[in-house]
Amino acid sequence: MAEINLKRVDEIIEGYKGEEGVLIQLLLDIQNEFNWISPEAIARISEQMRIPKSQIYRIASFYKAMSLKPVGRHIIHVCMGTACQVRGAPKILDRIEENLKIKEGETTSDMRFSLKRVNCLGCCAMGPVILVDGTYHGKITSAMVESILGQYE
């Protein structure tokens, strides 16, 4: 399980003390710092900001940009929209799963990669498309997967 530096969590919280309506941004900052929002971080936020844990969990589980379980340093999104599907996205997903030895929704044991399936990335003309850490890779084939993943080692 990924370690959380509670001193750093406290520093992030300190930047929001006394402000109203900052929970989402605070959670995003925690997410950006650690790649997930741990139960320990939620307990600290609840205690220091006087916000019920249930409210924090509700917000953190609602937004896709937040994760309540550790994710890898590199997040791979595989587009499964219609345009990508008909151009071979399922084969791309299979190849990534085979290469990383994980299934969609999982994270590699070394915490390097997390793999997610998405309904559409909004760039149908480039299909099939994967998005890695905000970088789009379009018109890819299963033969290109290893080379693309190698860029993130």
Which fold, 74-150?
Answer: Glutaredoxin (3.40.30)
**pLDDT tens, the chain, 153 aa long:** 456 789 999 999 999 988 889 999 999 999 988 889 999 999 999 999 999 999 999 999 998 788 998 889 999 999 999 999 999 999 999 999 999 999 999 999 999 999 999 999 999 999 999 999 989 999 999 999 999 999 997
Whether 102 contacts 108, CB under 8 Å: yes
First to last CA, the chain: 20
Q: How many Cβ atoms from other residues are within 10 Å of residue 64's Cβ? A: 8
Structural domain spans, the chain: 6-62, 74-150
Query: In what helix (H) or strand (E) does residue 118 lie, and over which residues does it extend?
Result: strand 113-118
